[in-house]
């Protein structure tokens, strides 16, 4: 048996096999890319048919983690450092404060600014982000942030500030979480356009509406006695044809629509 000849044949065969397998691999890659392009195009085309517009979507976030945290139990050591206010803690986790001397949060133009008040008069105040100002109720609602992103409508991560007719804060109510811990492996997230497509395919978006903003945050996934788990969540703000504003929340991993009890 001519071993050299046999070895040469094996080399040629394996070389041909490698080329064939690489060719199959390239074909699969191209097919996947084509499917992704077709899928994205179909979302955009579907939105275009209903004249649903969007501009300035945030960049796609490749992955993110679930986070967990424990509800903070307020201590006398914390509250005694709050100046110009009388505080009461209910059930250990619900802080109510009344300002001894009301503090203005409205300027001469009638605009509200809470930055200074949060940093000077609220425990960990800089960890909260403004969600809504209700001038009729003279109230502002804030959400605590996790990993610099808001936790949407968790009763245990809210700050409510109230003011009088002069635009001066009279009292506030606060709940908050302690240190946030990332856990589990990072998850692939829906891109902004995929999240919008999820809303559209479920019939949530009306014709002639406009996506005005999108932001990534968190929503409660699991709620235990003291510890809660939060999932990455897209917040999509939509302006309808008549000017009405609607807010939608989408689980950024699973794509399901999340509905909150805003009350």
> Residue 3: what pLDDT?
52
pLDDT digits (tens, 9 = 90+) for 183-207: 876 778 999 999 999 999 899 999 9
Say how far apart CA 193 and CA 36 lie, in whole Å.
12
Confidence of residue 40 (pLDDT cuts 50, 70, 90): low
**Helix (H) or strand (E) run with residue 44 in it:** helix 3-49
Reply yes or no on whether the pLDDT at 253 is more than 50. yes
Task: Note the pLDDT of residue 29.
Answer: 40
Distance CA(121)–CA(38), nearest Å, equals 53
Return phi, psi of residue 50, to 5°: -95, 10
What are the tens digits of pLDDT across the range 165-183? 999 999 999 999 999 999 8
Q: Is the pLDDT of residue 22 over 50?
A: no
The pTM assigned to this predicted structure is 0.81
Question: Looking at residue 37, what is its pLDDT?
Answer: 41
144 bridge partner residues: 128
CB atoms within 10 A of CB 135: 12
Q: Is 124 left (phi over 0), alpha (psi -120 to 50) or beta?
A: left
Residue 238 burial (CB count, 10 A): 22
Instruction: Report the half-sphere exposure of 146 (CA within 13 A, side-chain side).
Output: 33
Judge contact between 116 and 191, C-beta under 8 A.
Answer: no
- CA dihedral sign, ordered 174, 180, 186, 192: positive
Q: Round to whole Å and give the CA distance between 132 and 143.
A: 10
């Amino acid at each position: 048996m001519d071993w050299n000849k046999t070895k040469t044949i094996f080399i040629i065969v394996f070389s041909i096999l490698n080329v064939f397998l690489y060719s199959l691999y390239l074909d699969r890659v191209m097919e996947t890319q084509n499917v992704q392009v077709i899928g994205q195009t179909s979302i955009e085309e579907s939105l275009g048919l209903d004249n649903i517009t969007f501009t300035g979507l945030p960049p796609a976030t490749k992955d993110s983690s679930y986070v967990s945290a424990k509800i903070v139990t307020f201590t006398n050591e914390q509250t005694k450092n709050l100046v110009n206010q009388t505080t009461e803690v209910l059930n250990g986790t619900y802080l109510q404060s009344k300002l001894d001397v009301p503090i203005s949060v409205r300027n001469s133009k009638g605009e509200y600014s809470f930055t200074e008040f949060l940093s000077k008069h609220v425990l960990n105040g800089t960890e909260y982000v403004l969600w809504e100002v209700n001038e009729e109720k003279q109230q502002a609602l804030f959400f605590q942030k996790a990993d610099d992103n808001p936790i949407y409508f968790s009763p245990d991560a809210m700050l409510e500030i109230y003011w009088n007719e002069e635009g001066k804060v009279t009292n506030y109510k606060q709940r908050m979480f302690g240190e946030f811990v990332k856990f589990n492996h990072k998850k692939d997230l829906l891109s902004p356009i995929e999240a919008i497509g999820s809303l559209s395919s479920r019939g949530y978006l009306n014709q002639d509406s406009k996506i005005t903003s999108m932001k990534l945050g968190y929503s409660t996934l699991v709620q235990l006695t003291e510890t809660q788990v939060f999932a990455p969540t897209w917040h999509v703000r939509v302006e309808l044809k008549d000017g009405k504003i609607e807010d939608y929340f989408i689980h950024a991993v699973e794509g399901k629509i999340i509905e909150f009890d805003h009350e």
